[in-house]
Amino acid sequence: MTEDAMLLQIHDLNVRYHHSPVVKGIDLRIEDKQTVVIVGESGSGKSTLLRSIIGLLGENGEIVSGDIIFEKRSLPGLPEEEYRKLRGSGLSMIFQNPEAFLDPRMRIQEQFHEAVRVHRPMGRKQALQQAAALLAEMQFIDPASILKAYPFELSGGMCQRIAIAMAIVNQPKLILADEPTSALDVTVQAEMIELMIRMQKKHDLSILLVTHNMLVVEKMADMVGVMYQGRLVEWGTKQEVLRHARHPYTQGLLRAVPRLETISRDAMHPGPADDRKAVREGDSMREEVQADRTPGRKHFSSTHWIREE
Ligand SMILES: Nc1ncnc2c1ncn2[C@@H]1O[C@H](COP(=O)(O)OP(=O)(O)OP(=O)(O)O)[C@@H](O)[C@H]1O
Q: What is the DSSP string of 23-70?
A: EEEEEEEEETT-EEEEEE-TTSSHHHHHHHHHT---SSEEEEEEEEEE
- For ligand 1, the distance from its centroid to the CA atom of residue 165, given in whole angstroms, is 27
Whole-structure pTM value: 0.83
Q: Relative to the CA of 45, which ligand 1 atom is closest?
A: 18
Q: Which bin fits 296, alpha (ψ -120 to 50), beta or left (φ > 0)? A: left
**230: Cβ below 6 Å to ligand 1?**
no
What residue owns the CA closest to ligand 1's atom 29?
43
* pLDDT digit string, tens, across residues 64-90: 999 999 999 999 989 999 998 899 889
What residue owns the CA closest to ligand 1's atom 28?
43
Strand order in the sheet with 231-237: 91-94, 174-178, 206-210, 35-40, 223-228, 231-237
**172: Cβ below 6 Å to ligand 1?**
no
- For ligand 1, the distance from its centroid to the CA atom of residue 60, given in whole angstroms, is 11
**213: Cβ below 6 Å to ligand 1?**
no
Q: Relative to the CA of 51, which ligand 1 atom is closest?
A: 18
- What is the ipTM for the molecules in this complex? 0.98
CA 29, CA 53: separation in Å to the nearest integer?
12
Q: What pLDDT is stored for residue 268 in this prediction?
A: 44
**2: Cβ below 6 Å to ligand 1?**
no
What value does the mean pLDDT of the chain take? 82
Q: Relative to the CA of 212, which ligand 1 atom is closest?
A: 25
Q: What pLDDT is stored for residue 182 in this prediction?
A: 86
Q: Relative to the CA of 57, which ligand 1 atom is closest?
A: 1
- For ligand 1, the distance from its centroid to the CA atom of residue 47, given in whole angstroms, is 7
Per-residue pLDDT of the chain (309 residues; tens, 9 = 90+): 556 668 999 999 999 999 899 999 999 999 999 999 999 989 999 999 999 999 999 889 999 999 999 999 999 989 999 998 899 889 999 988 887 789 999 999 999 998 888 888 788 899 899 999 999 999 999 999 999 999 999 988 899 999 999 999 999 999 999 999 888 888 888 888 999 999 999 999 999 999 988 889 999 999 999 999 999 999 999 999 988 988 888 888 888 775 544 444 444 444 333 333 323 333 343 334 333 333 333 333 222 222 222
Pick from 54, 181, 160, 43: nearest CA to 100: 160
Nearest 5°: the CA angle 250, 255, 256 is 100
- For ligand 1, the distance from its centroid to the CA atom of residue 233, given in whole angstroms, is 18
What residue owns the CA closest to ligand 1's atom 6?
17
Q: Relative to the CA of 96, which ligand 1 atom is closest?
A: 27
Coil, helix or strand at residue 168: helix
What residue owns the CA closest to ligand 1's atom 17?
47
Q: What pLDDT is stored for residue 147 in this prediction?
A: 96
**56: Cβ below 6 Å to ligand 1?**
no
CB-based contacts of 105, cutoff 8 Å, min separation 6: 150
What residue owns the CA closest to ligand 1's atom 1?
60
Backbone angles phi, psi at 86, to 5 degrees: -70, -35
Q: Are strands 206-210 and 174-178 parallel, antiparallel or unpaired?
A: parallel
* pLDDT digit string, tens, across residues 36-55: 999 998 999 999 999 999 99
